[in-house]
Structure 1
Amino acid sequence: MTLIEAIIFGIVQGITEFLPVSSTAHIVITQLLFGYSFPGLGFEIFLHLASVSAVILYFWKDLWSVIVGFIRYIMKRDRQDRTEFWFGVYILIATVITGGLGFILSDSFGEAFKTPLMIAIALTVTGVALIFIEKFHRTGKKDASTMTLMDSIIVGLGQTLAVIPGISRSGSTLIVALLRGMDKDTAVRYSFLLSIPVILGSTVLGITDFTSEMVDYIGVTNLIVTFVLTFTFSILGIIWLIDFLKKSKLVYFAIYCFVVAALVLIFIDPTTVVDV
């Protein structure tokens, strides 16, 4: 891998990880354009680790509030910590659902999800969902104190769809959370905090793919460059998404998904399979 390619991979991953456009789809497309087939999932996991580091930094106050409230409620049963306790429980429930079903779906369907045709279809579905949630769904008023167990289950199921390249994890959780009647602030907070255990969990499960062969294949310098750029552009992506949500501009992301889906079908062999 050249330094320029490392820079491109870092920027692509960082920008798309938390925008509702599917970072996995963009990494697959970038691989196809460069003709790369990375050994195992080590490189993708490495990029996701940089992205989740950005989330932890940006939302550290929220994360700390949930952790402290969760532990303190268990120990003291103080009513003022009840909301954060249950918010933490709902994060754990959605994570378990996503992890369990995601593992089963990945194992069952395998390479069927990894073709340009499937990516184009999934991006189109994401675009349609984004238009629906912005144009035809009224934003609810449910916050962390009024969330329910069923909300966490449904969001966890929605997040599981992100096992398909082209279905955005952030997009699916935001859309489902808004459909469940959450206000935008709560939906965003839940979506981003939910990404932390999901990404860290996948990192632990795939740690064996981070091998010396993978490091030699990509290069130490290139890995450092991609990590720094992914982290930096992930922060920018988070800020950008939050700003767009305040202005109700999800339709622009939908248009982008449609354009990328069309370009994939036009310029890439739809039967190609990439190991991601």
Structure 2
Amino acid sequence: MTLIEALVLGLVQGLTEFLPISSSAHLVITQMLFNISFPGFGFEILLHLGSVLAVIIYYRKDLIELIIGFFSYIKNRSEENKTNFWFSIYILVATIITGVSGILFEDYISTALKGPTMIAISLTITGIFLIIIERAVRTGGRTEKDMTLFDSVIIGIGQSLALIPGLSRSGTTLVVGMFAGLTKETAVRYSFLLSIPVILGSTVLAIKDLLNGELLAVAGAFPLIVAFIVTFISSLLGIVWFINFLKKSKLIYFAIYCFVLALFVFIFLGDVDPDLF
């Protein structure tokens, strides 16, 4: 892997991870355009670690508050910590659902459903649901304190669908959360915090791909370091930008982008052999 490829792949991962446009699809497409591939899931996991580090830093105060509130509520059942306790539980429930789905289906999905045509279809579906949530569903008014176990279950199921390349993890959790009546701000916060255990969990499952030395031999140490750093910085910028964007603009612009990208993939990459990637 060249430094230019490392830079571009890091930027692609970082800028798309927390936008509702599917970072996994963008990584696959970029690798197709560069005609490069990596063994196992080590490279994707490395880049995702850069993204999750950005989330942890951005939401560090929230995480500390959730952790303190969780254990304080267990200790003394104080009303002031009740919301943080249950919000933590809802993150855990959705994570478990996604983790079980990943263990059961990811091998099949990563081989059978990663072709260009499937990615184009998934991007189109993402765009359609973004339009539906923007145009057909009235924005809810429920916040963290109004969430229920049912919310976490359906959001966890929605997040599991994002195992399919082209279906955005942040997009599905955001759409399902808003369908459930959560405010846009609450759905975004829940989605971003939910990414931390999900990505860390997938790292544990694929740690052998990071440590077996094959990725290092193929990509090189310095390009991997560059890709990680670029991913971290661009992820942090992407989080800040997306949160500010949602305060004054609409999701329909991302839907249009998904449609355009799906058309590009279908026309120009539809005949690429998915087994190469």
User: Per the alignment, do residues 75 and 274 of structure 1 end up closer, same or farther by CA in structure 2, a change over 3 Å counting?
Assistant: farther
Secondary structure of 1:188's match?
Answer: helix
User: Per the alignment, do residues 15 and 177 of structure 1 end up closer, same or farther by CA in structure 2, a change over 3 Å counting?
Assistant: same
Secondary structure of 1:101's match?
Answer: helix
Whole-Å Cα distance in 2 between the matches of residues 130 and 274 of structure 1?
A: 30
Structure 1 residue 206: Cα displacement: 0.4
Whole-Å Cα distance in 1 between the matches of residues 82 and 9 of structure 2?
A: 42
Q: Deviations over 1:181-236 (max 9, x none)?
A: 00111111111100000000001110000132211211111011111110011011
Question: Unaligned regions of 5+ residues in structure 2, if any?
Answer: none
Segment of structure 1 superposing worse, 13-22 or 245-254:
245-254
Percent identical residues: 58
Letter in 2 for 1:130: L
Task: Tell me which residue corresponds to 1:68.
Answer: 68
Structure 1 residue 34: Cα displacement: 1.1
Whole-Å Cα distance in 2 between the matches of residues 90 and 43 of structure 1?
A: 29
Structure 2 contact 122–164 (Cα < 8 Å) conserved? yes
Whole-Å Cα distance in 2 between the matches of residues 275 and 70 of structure 1?
A: 46
Q: Deviations over 1:130-152 (max 9, x none)?
A: 11111111110111111001000
Task: Tell me which residue corresponds to 2:224.
Answer: 223
Q: Deviations over 1:93-142 (max 9, x none)?
A: 00000110122122344412110000000000000111111111111011
Structure 1 residue 76: Cα displacement: 1.5
Task: Tell me which residue corresponds to 1:45.
Answer: 45
Structure 1 contact 40–275 (Cα < 8 Å) conserved? no
Structure 1 contact 134–248 (Cα < 8 Å) conserved? no
Whole-Å Cα distance in 2 between the matches of residues 270 and 176 of structure 1?
A: 33
Q: Deviations over 1:21-74 (max 9, x none)?
A: 000000000111111121110000000000000000001111111111001111
Letter in 1 for 2:101: L
Task: Tell me which residue corresponds to 2:198.
Answer: 198
User: Per the alignment, do residues 270 and 243 of structure 1 end up closer, same or farther by CA in structure 2, a change over 3 Å counting?
Assistant: farther
Task: Tell me which residue corresponds to 1:269.
Answer: 270
Whole-Å Cα distance in 2 between the matches of residues 109 and 82 of structure 1?
A: 38
Letter in 2 for 1:172: T
Structure 1 contact 126–254 (Cα < 8 Å) conserved? yes
Task: Tell me which residue corresponds to 2:18.
Answer: 18
Aligned pairs (5 A) from 1:3-152: 3-152=3-152
* RMSD (Å), alpha carbons: 1.2
Q: Deviations over 1:146-183 (max 9, x none)?
A: 10010000000000011000000000000000000001
Secondary structure of 2:165's match?
Answer: coil
Task: Tell me which residue corresponds to 2:261.
Answer: 260
Whole-Å Cα distance in 2 between the matches of residues 28 and 114 of structure 1?
A: 8
Letter in 1 for 2:79: R
The TM-score, its normalising length taken from structure 1, stands at 0.97
The ranges of structure 1 where at least 4 consecutive aligned residues each deviate by more than 4 angstroms after the TM superposition are none
Whole-Å Cα distance in 1 between the matches of residues 161 and 23 of structure 2?
A: 14
The TM-score, its normalising length taken from structure 2, stands at 0.97
Give the paired residue count.
Answer: 276
Letter in 2 for 1:223: L
Whole-Å Cα distance in 2 between the matches of residues 274 and 131 of structure 1?
A: 32
Structure 1 contact 115–270 (Cα < 8 Å) conserved? no
Structure 1 contact 32–274 (Cα < 8 Å) conserved? no
Structure 1 residue 248: Cα displacement: 3.4
Whole-Å Cα distance in 1 between the matches of residues 107 and 261 of structure 2?
A: 27
